[in-house]
Amino acid sequence: MAQQATHSNASLTRAGQSNSTGDARALYLKLFSGEMFKGFQHNAIARDLVMKRTLKNGKSLQFIYTGHTKAEYHVPGQSILGNSDGSPPVAEKTITVDDLLISSAFVYELDETLAHYELRGEISKKIGYALAQKYDRLIFRQIAKGARQASPITKSGFVEPGGTQVRVGTNNQASDAYVAASLVNAFYDAAAALDEKGVSSEGRVGVLNPRQYYELIQQVGDNGLVNRDEQGTSRQKGNGIVEIAGIKIYKSMNIPFFGSYGTKYGSASATNPGVTSPGNTGSFVAETAEDARASVTGINGNYGNATDFANSCGLIFQKEGAGVVEAIGPQVQVTSGDVSVVYQGDVILGRLAMGADFLNPAACVELVAGAAAGSSGNAAFGTTYPANA
């Protein structure tokens, strides 16, 4: 007869403990962290497309510009003490970190108990999405700003190239932004301008809104602009599969787009491409670009106002076009202990501290439609639109 096993004490398996010891929720919190980072990384595309630096023990980070120099013929017997014109000229750009950016939620313990799904994982992904959305929006606005600026090099006798605006189409209607042939022409114009201004061809990317991207791949997908090895849904994802003039194209709902973000619905005009809303888009789609100058609480730089992007409809840039400085990278914090007991739940917080700005204006190109480059709504931020030769 088989003998029945007996135990004086029940062995309780706590799935949230690490190696069956310590905090019973330890692994759950790590799961939350992973979900938040996954949500952030999958949605923040700009972070890897520009210059990124980590800031410690300071509020701002300095970037150095070095202008062009020239070759000279040596005069026999003359000492060599540098070029006669004092080249190359040098200037600086400082990027200041904005205030702490947060996204948080309170998770009531009873709700977790009653929910039939993993509540914290869902909340964590949404927190990651929110931080990534803001992150990309700020960087993309600075690239548009850089496209309207002259070079920071102002040494007498030196003229360094500045930013570029390229008009999509020739009509005074914003609907040109969705004409595939006009977009292709604009990409080639932008590539030529970058070449002429001495910008490296390595790391060039373009970012369009989804409708522009899909219009584009319908027209150019079979014309040699897509890597023939990419099959199936790859070209639909908008992850840099399509290339025009060596520029990898991404899609995003976070670029400045006719004074909004990503898309804009309504009747066609000079500042509206005239797309009918599919309905039930929610409050997070087609948001009007918020004012984000230094006068806005939490902003220490200048990301422009909504009216500054009245005709903006796409970005093309090279990695050196903009920079982002992180004092605090994406992090997760959660309450525990006595606080959790008092409130019978936890506050889950995602946070980061970053600042962004353009670096090399020559590496920034802004696409505009419905108005000429440099016209009202497309002029430089707070200054006269420069020639940027």
Query: Is residue 16, in this structure, part of any structural domain at all?
Result: no
In whole angstroms, give the CA distance from residue 168 to residue 186: 6
What's the pLDDT tens digit per position in 92-123? 888 999 999 999 988 888 877 776 667 778 88
> pLDDT band at 269, cuts 50/70/90?
very high
Domain of 140: which CATH number?
3.90.1690
Residue with tokens 């979900």: 35
Query: Is residue 82, in this structure, part of any structural domain at all?
Result: no
What's the pLDDT tens digit per position in 355-379? 999 999 999 999 999 998 888 778 8
> pLDDT band at 220, cuts 50/70/90?
low
68 or 200, greater pLDDT: 200
What pLDDT is recorded for position 201? Answer: 93
Query: Is residue 75, in this structure, part of any structural domain at all?
Result: no
In whole angstroms, give the CA distance from residue 350 to residue 326: 15
In whole angstroms, give the CA distance from residue 202 to residue 204: 6
Query: Is residue 322, in this structure, part of any structural domain at all?
Result: yes
pLDDT greater than 70 at residue 1: no
In whole angstroms, give the CA distance from residue 223 to residue 70: 41
In whole angstroms, give the CA distance from residue 202 to residue 355: 24
In sequence order, what are the residues at sequence separation of 6 or more whose Cβ sits closer than 8 angstroms to the Cβ of residue 212?
177, 178, 183, 251, 313, 314
β-bridge mates for residue 334, sequence order = 348
What pLDDT is recorded for position 303? Answer: 92
pTM more than 0.95: no
Average pLDDT over residues 306-324: 94
Question: Exposed/middle/buried for 62, CB within 10 Å: 0-12, 13-18, 19+?
Answer: exposed
**Residue range(s) defining the domain that contains residue 60:** 26-65+88-368
Average pLDDT over residues 290-311: 87
> DSSP letters along 83-129, please?
-TT-PSPEEEEEEE--SPEEEEEEEEHHHHHH-SS-HHHHHHHHHHH
Burial 102-117 (b: 16+ CB within 10 A, else e): ebebebeeeeeeeeee
Residue with tokens 């609480």: 297
- Residues 45/100/336/345 CA torsion (nearest 10 deg): -80
Mean of the per-residue pLDDT values of the chain? 83
Question: Exposed/middle/buried for 41, CB within 10 Å: 0-12, 13-18, 19+?
Answer: middle
**What's the alpha-carbon Rg for the chain, to the nearest Å?**
26
What pLDDT is recorded for position 116? Answer: 63
Using alpha carbons, list the distances in angstroms from residue 143 to 37, 46, 205, 284, 383: 25, 10, 12, 22, 16
What's the pLDDT tens digit per position in 41-58? 778 899 999 999 998 888
In sequence order, what are the residues at sequence separation of 6 or more whose Cβ sits closer than 8 angstroms to the Cβ of residue 126?
39, 103, 105
Average pLDDT over residues 190-205: 95
> pLDDT band at 14, cuts 50/70/90?
low
Query: Is residue 74, in this structure, part of any structural domain at all?
Result: no
In whole angstroms, give the CA distance from residue 55 to residue 37: 20
Average pLDDT over residues 251-263: 92
Report how many domains make up the chain: 1
Contact 97, 300 (CB under 8 A): yes
C-alpha angle with apex 371: 365 to 372, nearest 5 degrees? 60
Contact 347, 357 (CB under 8 A): no
Report the run of H or E that residue 152 belongs to, with start and end.
Answer: none
Using alpha carbons, list the distances in angstroms from residue 379 to 69, 102, 307: 30, 32, 11
H-state helical runs in the chain: 26-43, 109-114, 119-146, 180-196, 210-220, 338-343
> DSSP letters along 227-238, please?
-TT--TTGGGS-
> pLDDT band at 27, cuts 50/70/90?
low
CA dihedral over 355, 359, 363, 367, signed as positive or negative: positive
